[in-house]
Structure 1
Amino acid sequence: MAIESILLAVGPSDKTRLEELAETAIDIAGPTGAEVTIAHVFTEDQYDDVIERLEFASAGDADPDDVADRHTNVRDIAAMLDSADVPHSTRGAVGEHGDEIVSLAETTGADLVIVGGRKRSPTGKAVFGSVAQEVMLNAPCPVTFVRGDE
């Protein structure tokens, strides 16, 4: 199966692994010419906070794609993809992280999802859940997990 479309999920906790996420996307997209969609999902509370910080008049005046495009982590990843001449776009969503990443993978027709996370004990996963685990179990395509050290 040829990879033509990659969904790269980037969240606020990915600051320490942006380079690894970008390198993974570049390594996969570069040889295939795939387009990368940088996805950022906000919870309702996060979205309201960001709307206020970015000085939008109201949440109704803000488009999740535009809000995501202005997020520091998204801009940093976009700059790395630009440097490698990898075509990309940005998508934003508001809701539960795992559900929205899976939904974006479906609506963008992604052939691959790249998601970051950290090493956790089995008990930690059971008690706190894992966005990456939810995406791996429910995505409509293969998922590449980029593990951080924290």
Structure 2
Amino acid sequence: MTVLVGYIPTPEGAAALDRAIAEARSRSAKLVVVNASRGDVFVDDRFVQSDGVEALRKRLDGEDVAYELFQPIGGHDSADEVLDAAEQHGAELIVIGLRRRTPVGKLIMGSTAQRILLQAECAVLAVKAAK
């Protein structure tokens, strides 16, 4: 069994990671962390850099969960990378973080989150960061 999390270094990403760790632990499942970049820009602040990767691995090493960290840079968007990884690893659950939105913004969800919610073959859990 596998729990997959789409991770970006933001409060929403941290909330998704926290929940994914808890879900993997409660299900005795492996955790797959996907942090993707399209690779079409020189700096992508959603892509965890080397010092951030070290901190993320240290955090995950401290949890009682088996994990894999993937950082694909292939020109695909993040939704495709998360969905492909979920299929490849046979994920039973995908966890993603959502930003808080204004009433007007609630009409249009972020395209990455929307695509994952609509196209995933497994359950998707969307979480928000604490205020």
Fold-level similarity (TM above 0.5): yes
Please provide the CA RMSD for this pair: 2.8
The 8 Å contact of residues 14 and 129 in structure 2, kept in 1 or not, is answered as: no
Alignment of 1:105 with 2:102, yes or no, is no
Please give the secondary structure, in 1, of the residue aligned with 2:91.
coil
Instruction: Give the letter aligned to residue 108 of structure 1.
Output: H
Please give the secondary structure, in 2, of the residue aligned with 1:89.
strand
What TM-score, normalized by structure 2, do the two folds share? 0.77
Larger Rg: 1
1:13-32 equivalence runs, <5 A: 14-32=9-27
**Closer, same or farther in 2 for the Cα pair 1:83/1:35, shift >3 Å?**
same
Structure whose residues are more often helix by fraction: 1
**Closer, same or farther in 2 for the Cα pair 1:145/1:128, shift >3 Å?**
closer
1:81-92 equivalence runs, <5 A: 81-92=60-71
Give the aligned partner of residue 54 of structure 1. Answer: none
Give the share of equivalent positions with the same residue, in percent: 26
Aligned residues: 127
1:19-50: CA deviation from partner (whole Å, max 9, x where unpaired)? 4233212221113220001101102224x547
Could you tell me how far apart the structure 2 residues matched to 1:147 and 1:71 are?
25
The 8 Å contact of residues 6 and 82 in structure 2, kept in 1 or not, is answered as: yes
Instruction: Give the letter aligned to residue 27 of structure 2.
Output: T
Could you tell me how far apart the structure 2 residues matched to 1:37 and 1:85 are?
14
Instruction: Give the letter aligned to residue 42 of structure 1.
Output: S
Specify every segment of 5 or more residues in structure 2 that has no aligned partner in the other structure, as ranges.
none
The 8 Å contact of residues 16 and 128 in structure 2, kept in 1 or not, is answered as: no
What TM-score, normalized by structure 1, do the two folds share? 0.68
Instruction: Give the letter aligned to residue 30 of structure 1.
Output: R
**Closer, same or farther in 2 for the Cα pair 1:37/1:69, shift >3 Å?**
farther
Deviation at 1:132, TM superposition (A): 1.3
